[in-house]
């Protein structure tokens, strides 16, 4: 189960926010017992890129054998 402060991986493209599948964000709020989440996506230096309300099927928990990957955003 995904909870507040968990890191999650985006599984869908969010072009208006400049986000791609695989981008990692942090859950800042859980809605409707886990049906949706408010997720903050930040740069590696801590600047917020986007804060989105995202449905449960648009993110997944991070897995123990995954690495963070860096890419530039507009």
Q: Answer whether residue 20 is part of any domain.
A: yes
Q: Answer whether residue 30 is part of any domain.
A: yes
Residue 27, classed as helix, strand or coil, is strand
Report the alpha-carbon distance of residue 41 to residue 46 in Å, rounded.
Answer: 9
Q: Answer whether residue 72 is part of any domain.
A: no
Q: Answer whether residue 47 is part of any domain.
A: yes
- Digit-coded pLDDT (tens) for 35-74: 999 999 999 999 999 999 999 999 999 999 999 999 998 7
Q: How many residues does the chain have?
A: 74
Q: Answer whether residue 12 is part of any domain.
A: yes
| CATH code at position 40 | 2.30.30
pLDDT at 74: 78
Q: Answer whether residue 24 is part of any domain.
A: yes
Q: Answer whether residue 49 is part of any domain.
A: yes
Asked if 38 and 50 count as a contact pair (C-beta separation under 8 A), the reply is no
34, two tokens: 């886990």
Report the number of distinct structural domains present in the chain: 1
8, two tokens: 């999650």
Domain that holds residue 13: 7-61
């Amino acid at each position: 189960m995904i909870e507040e402060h968990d890191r999650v991986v985006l599984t869908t493209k969010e072009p208006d926010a400049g986000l791609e599948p695989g981008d990692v964000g942090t859950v800042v709020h859980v809605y409707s017992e886990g049906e949706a989440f408010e997720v903050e996506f930040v740069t590696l230096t801590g600047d917020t890129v986007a804060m989105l309300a995202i449905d449960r099927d648009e993110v997944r928990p991070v897995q123990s054998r995954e690495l963070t990957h860096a890419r530039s955003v507009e």
